[in-house]
Structure 1
Amino acid sequence: MDLTDRRLLVTGGAGLVGSELAAQLAADNEVVVVDDLSNGVRESVPDDCAFVEGDLTERETLEDAITGDLDAVFHCAAADKYVDTDDPREQFEVNGSMTYDLVERMEEVGVSRLAFTSSSTVYGEAPRPTPEDYAPLEPISIYGAAKLSEESLLSVYAHSHDFTVWNFRFANVVGPRFGAGVVPDFVEKLDENPETLTILGDGRQQKSYMHVAECSEAIRAVVEGTPKGGMHTYNLGTRTTTSVDRIADIVSDEMGLDPDYEYTGGDRGWTGDVPKMRLSIEKLSTHWEPALSSDDSVREAARSLVARLDER
């Protein structure tokens, strides 16, 4: 699908991935952003994008945002994965119902192209590097279970409702925005207490980290490089991993600090955390190749966040 002179909708476009994707798409297209601002920030929505504030599980918002003149929908909205332990049932039900409502409305108005931001959490604790065709998919978190259920629904729409679906399974995405995630967590903790940094788990968790700008570039490259029809699943990540201890070192270095580390213990940071993750990106590499390693991605994000501390 050529991403030029199109009318596109980005759900969750006030969030980390959605706002960056909207900004990149808006360079050559007319872009509408919809977000209820429960996790997103209004100031993150690019100035050259139209904005609809509302909850996609509500009919009025769906009708305002999803109209027959759209060429495609980029579905980045989700109940955040870091609220797992607060209300897991709500997270599962909200994500599933929102996506179901979305595709029903798309079919109602005749829009049939959808790019979906899924997650590496659908794999659970799988061998590494994990390819897209790895089976069985056995997520260990509610967030992963929700994403897998949404993928299943989108598969139905791709195979039985003539949709074209691009399904992107993300590594950890980092960027210049405060909120959930290990990099902003460390920056905020060290800003509050420069002497000691509390690290969830044992610090040895080893995962792939991808900068949000490259994540958005990869999405665009795949959408433009794959044929119409069916469901196209791609891993998005880097070829490298980094540890939580290494992230702490990078953030400390960017802040000019040398804190003591203390650990909560155990091999994972929270219930449902996958301690080791690296995705195979061989399929992605036929369209696009990352320039940044996991360490580079973390450093770019940390540097941006540190620079923004004085603005808060």
Structure 2
Amino acid sequence: MIFSVVTGGAGFIGSHLVDALVGRGERVVVIDSLAAGSRDNLGKHLDEGLVTLVEADLLGDGWQRSLAGATRVFHLAADPDVRQSAIAPDSQIRNNIMGTYRVLEAMRVHRVGEIAFTSTSTVYGEAAVIPTPEDYTPLEPVSVYGASKLACEALISSYCHSFGMKAWVYRFANIIGARSGHGVITDFIRKLREDPEVLEILGDGRQSKSYLEVSECVRAMLYAVDNAPSQYNVFNIGSEDWVDVRRIADIVVGEMGLTGVKYRFTGGERGWVGDVPRMQLAVDRMRTLGWKPEIGSAESVRSAVRAMLE
């Protein structure tokens, strides 16, 4: 039986990944501090004894023994708040970079040979080539979050080549759906519940990005693990189109059944410091492997809005 450890497995994407791993019949251990994740996201699996939860911070000790005998680690635990990283970067340096280093060290000590890591499209910075392929250079992140993820990628590459590990690195577009606790859709729903007449939109509303529903994301992650044989694999995961923020607002307003909502824009091409106004990833490498996204950005947004309203 395959034995997978999922750091951050009680969070948004992590819990959906756990659902899929359990569905594949794997033994699953989740390591999560529950600072951002929730035990409720794993409830049915915990109740049925299909998943073991180790409540721990990766910067602490004691959790490392949970890796003994594991086949691979899915490392999702991170501080994902891009906006906050421009205000107080210390959390992302510690939780993302040092957390990843400690996971890699625990893997080395316990002889776990495989790691799947969730990176981000923000490692590309403001790419001059859109859709952006995995071999695009130079990688010049404009946010501390993007920089921290790029540093993690470098650490993982070095451990693969130094200690014979194998890795799958996923550079995500905007992943959305049920259980998500942050992002533009969450913000819009919250704001409209507080004031159903006026919606504040950060920036000019023309920021255009790729979005992918979380179940499609998880399908791509597992497809890569099953079919990419190289020692160090890097894949973009996203849809093959994009949608702008104003269109997202229209979808949220419509799904909430509201009419006459006025939009108030804060102005400027960026929503916040470190925001990348235009982003779409090239997914040709995943297509060559045999995977392609089944839905586009607007459909992903609509599906996510409905799930989050439920």
TM-score (norm 1): 0.94
Q: Give 3-state SS (helix, strand or coil) of 2:284's partner.
A: coil
Measure how far apart 1:169 and its partner are: 0.2
Matched with 2:76 is 76
Q: Which amino acid aligns with 1:156?
A: S
Matched with 2:3 is 7
Matched with 1:115 is 116
Confirm or deny: 8 A CA contact 2:5 2:31 kept in the other structure.
yes
5+ residue gaps, structure 1, are 308-312
Measure how far apart 1:230 and its partner are: 1.7
Q: Which amino acid aligns with 2:40?
A: E
Equivalences for residues 143-292 of structure 1 within 5 A = 143-227=145-229, 229-258=230-259, 259-286=261-288, 287-292=290-295
Measure how far apart 1:177 and its partner are: 2.1
Confirm or deny: 8 A CA contact 1:215 1:237 kept in the other structure.
yes
Q: Give 3-state SS (helix, strand or coil) of 1:45's partner.
A: helix
Measure how far apart 1:168 and its partner are: 0.2
Structure 1 distance, partners of 2:133, 2:90, is 29
Q: Which amino acid aligns with 1:90?
A: S
Equivalences for residues 79-158 of structure 1 within 5 A = 79-82=79-82, 83-126=84-127, 127-158=129-160
Q: Give 3-state SS (helix, strand or coil) of 2:281's partner.
A: coil
Confirm or deny: 8 A CA contact 1:177 1:184 kept in the other structure.
no
Structure 1 distance, partners of 2:245, 2:223, is 30
Confirm or deny: 8 A CA contact 1:92 1:145 kept in the other structure.
no
**How big is each residue's C-alpha offset from its partner over 1:230-281, in whole Å with a ceiling of 9 and x where there is no partner?**
2100000000100000000000010011211001111011100000000000
Measure how far apart 1:178 and its partner are: 4.5
Q: Which amino acid aligns with 1:20?
A: H
Structure 2 distance, partners of 1:223, 1:197, is 41
How many residue pairs match? The answer is 300
Measure how far apart 1:226 and its partner are: 1.3
Q: Give 3-state SS (helix, strand or coil) of 1:59's partner.
A: coil
Measure how far apart 1:77 and its partner are: 0.5
Measure how far apart 1:66 and its partner are: 1.7
Confirm or deny: 8 A CA contact 2:203 2:268 kept in the other structure.
yes
Matched with 1:58 is 60
**How big is each residue's C-alpha offset from its partner over 1:85-131, in whole Å with a ceiling of 9 and x where there is no partner?**
34112312321111101111101011010000000000000020000
Relative to structure 1, the CA distance from residue 16 to residue 269 in structure 2 (aligned partners, 3 Å threshold; closer, same or farther) is: same
**How big is each residue's C-alpha offset from its partner over 1:205-236, in whole Å with a ceiling of 9 and x where there is no partner?**
00000111000000000000011x52100000
TM-score (norm 2): 0.94
The answer to whether structure 1 residue 298 and structure 2 residue 301 are counterparts is yes
Structure 2 distance, partners of 1:84, 1:280, is 26
**How big is each residue's C-alpha offset from its partner over 1:286-309, in whole Å with a ceiling of 9 and x where there is no partner?**
2311111100000001011112xx
Structure 1 distance, partners of 2:263, 2:96, is 36
Q: Give 3-state SS (helix, strand or coil) of 1:137's partner.
A: coil
Q: Give 3-state SS (helix, strand or coil) of 1:166's partner.
A: strand
Give the % identical residues. 45
Residue 26 of structure 1, aligned match among 22, 28, 37? 22
Q: Give 3-state SS (helix, strand or coil) of 2:19's partner.
A: helix
Confirm or deny: 8 A CA contact 2:86 2:274 kept in the other structure.
no
Q: Which amino acid aligns with 1:295?
A: A
Deviates more, 1:178-187 or 1:297-306: 178-187
Structure 1: 4+ residue segments shifted above 4 A: none
Q: Give 3-state SS (helix, strand or coil) of 2:35's partner.
A: coil
